């Protein structure tokens, strides 16, 4: 079983994206979607397409509803007391939530 990253940060995500003119934004978004699918697809049967995470107007984006709801449902299913809210701090909460989910996945193996 491959260990998932637990050290994601919204600050470094956007800083790296700015420094590389968006190149690492694409790379990191694909890694983010891959980890989301690794953790969640087994239980909810859905997949998050990496290119959808990139579009803030997309309903599947982390800023839209579907990805956020998917993460919240998985947090609830695993009994982790954390929820992602709406608004600007949403981006920071998404990285924290994915770190919590990755830690739980690494610990339990599923």
pLDDT tens-place string over residues 25-80: 888 888 988 999 999 999 999 988 777 665 555 555 555 567 888 999 999 999 99
Q: Structure pTM?
A: 0.86
Domain-by-domain residue ranges, the chain? 10-108
Phi and psi dihedrals of 98, rounded to 5? -65, -35
Q: Considering only residues 98 and 91, tell me which one the structure prediction assigns the higher pLDDT.
A: 98
| Cα(8)–Cα(77) distance, integer angstroms | 22
| Cα(64)–Cα(57) distance, integer angstroms | 7
| Cα(69)–Cα(97) distance, integer angstroms | 12
**End-to-end Cα spacing for the chain:** 9
């Amino acid at each position: 079983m491959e260990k998932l990253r637990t050290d994601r940060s919204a600050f470094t995500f956007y800083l790296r994206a700015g420094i590389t003119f968006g190149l690492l934004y694409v790379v990191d978004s694909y890694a983010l979607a891959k980890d989301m699918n690794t953790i969640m697809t087994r239980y909810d049967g859905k997949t998050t397409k990496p290119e959808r995470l990139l579009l803030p107007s997309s309903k599947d984006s982390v800023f839209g509803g579907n990805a956020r709801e998917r993460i919240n449902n998985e947090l609830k299913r695993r009994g982790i007391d954390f929820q992602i809210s709406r608004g600007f701090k949403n981006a920071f909460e998404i990285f924290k939530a994915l770190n919590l989910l990755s830690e739980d996945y690494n610990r339990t193996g599923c």
